[in-house]
Amino acid sequence: MTPKDVIKMAREKNAVMANFKFLDFPGIWQHFSVPISELTEQVFEEGLGFDGSSIRGWQAIHTSDMLIIPDPTTAFIDPFIKEPTISLICNIVDPITKEFYSRDPRYIAQKAEAYLKSTGIGDTVYMGPEAEFFIFDDIRYDQNSYSGYYYIDSVEGIWNSGRVENPNLGYKPRHKEGYFPVPPTDSLVNMRIEMVVEMQKCGIYVEREHHEVATAGQAEIDMRYDSLVRMADKLMLFKYIIKNVARRYNKTVTFMPKPIFGDNGSGMHTHQSIWKDGKPLFAGSDYAGLSELALYYIGGILKHAKALAALTNPTTNSYKRLTPGFEAPVNLAYSARNRSAAIRIPTYSPSPKAKRIEVRFPDPSCNAYLAFSAMLMAGLDGIENKIHPGEPLDKDIYELGPEELATVPTMPGSLEEALGYLEEDHEFLMKGDVFTSDAIETWIEYKRTREVDALRLRPHPYEFFLYYDI
């Protein structure tokens, strides 16, 4: 779609506003709108100005002016704005140098795709994330100098089995039994279908939807794979649609990895494969029908996994999910079918086009542009340096004895630890200027000061249970 096509589309849909969406550094969409009369072809070339100092992780106050450049290929009619509005996803440009902004996550992802092509290894990397999420009825939280708490509620929560609901009808999924009974136990099917319908209207190809394992409304909607930048764009739109449809039902959605104690967290298993000239490169005659190139890609992911965690699992809450001894894939191994490994090779189809790997440790709190780019760069490093992943682990990892388990490396145990690994191991990210020193250093500093240190300074409610009577 060209700028002319976008303007024509806006006219045909009777749009009265144009909405511009872009991503802050941590990974949340921001936006502003202009009357449709302001949407000209010139805007697609020269951009529109805004204050970059007010965006998390971006400019200082004395260098605050920035430009957005809308991407015409991303246009869609926004289903949640009352007046007809055409929305576009944008890139960020420095108004002085006219260069794309090094901290714009979308630009980093575009550079990652360009780097893949420059290597000659392939021309397309496909990503297929499975982002899980919770649909709650109520969420309250606060933290101040004299108190701190959170309170979650869900009509599906098993903890409400004895609540007076006038009447309480039961049908609440027990812990770890939400995968996946039919209604009335699954009370959210109509809402999820509405989410799917809105996604389809916006151009997202959906493969399936279902309740997930946990009680209290955990869900999953799976999109068909797409190229890296397009998939990251779609994941942002996916989150936007899910949250806003839930709001129509007076419910709230979170992609926080571990909001509930004692039940499954939300992961984002990410399927990926490299293609060239329309042909899949991960299919072959090695283990589980993989090519040698695919094994090297796995080797790169496993080698750099601890550094990747700072981008694929970028919140302190991520490590409430990535805990040894539970179902999350903390063990850095690969296997066919085995869902307890960090990397799984799905075996649903014998077709070479379906051959892919599934990286299981990421979670949906990540900035998809950065996480997808980092995984690609790690995999390419494995291919370029022929890093073999070693032997697969086709056993139940959770049944291994202490001696055997000690030989299996694990993911970091905290965001602080992951940031330390990223600080030590990031040269692979900087190939082709995909990630700049400035972007990496800013990410580490932001996460340490705004999240790790901020959490460390505050008493935790459970500490009162443990220590108040000391």
Active site residues per annotation: 51, 130, 132, 212, 220, 269, 339, 358, 360
> Which of 364, 175, 158 has its CA nearest to residue 254?
364
Query: What's the rounded Cα separation, in Å, for the pair 200 and 221?
Result: 12
Amino acid identity at 115 = Y
Residues 65-101: b if buried by 16+ CB within 10 A, e if exposed = ebbbbbbbebbbbbbebeeebbbbbbbbbbeeeeebb
Q: How far is CA 449 from CA 8, 257, 359, 445, in A?
A: 46, 21, 29, 6
Identity (one letter) of the amino acid at 424?
E
Distance (Å, whole) CA 241 – CA 237: 6
Whether the Cβ atoms of residue 310 and residue 304 lie closer than 8 Å to each other: no
Q: Which of 9, 164, 133, 125 lies closest to 73 in space, CA to CA? A: 9
Whole-angstrom distance, CA of residue 297 vs CA of residue 290 = 11
Distance CA 229, CA 231 (A): 5
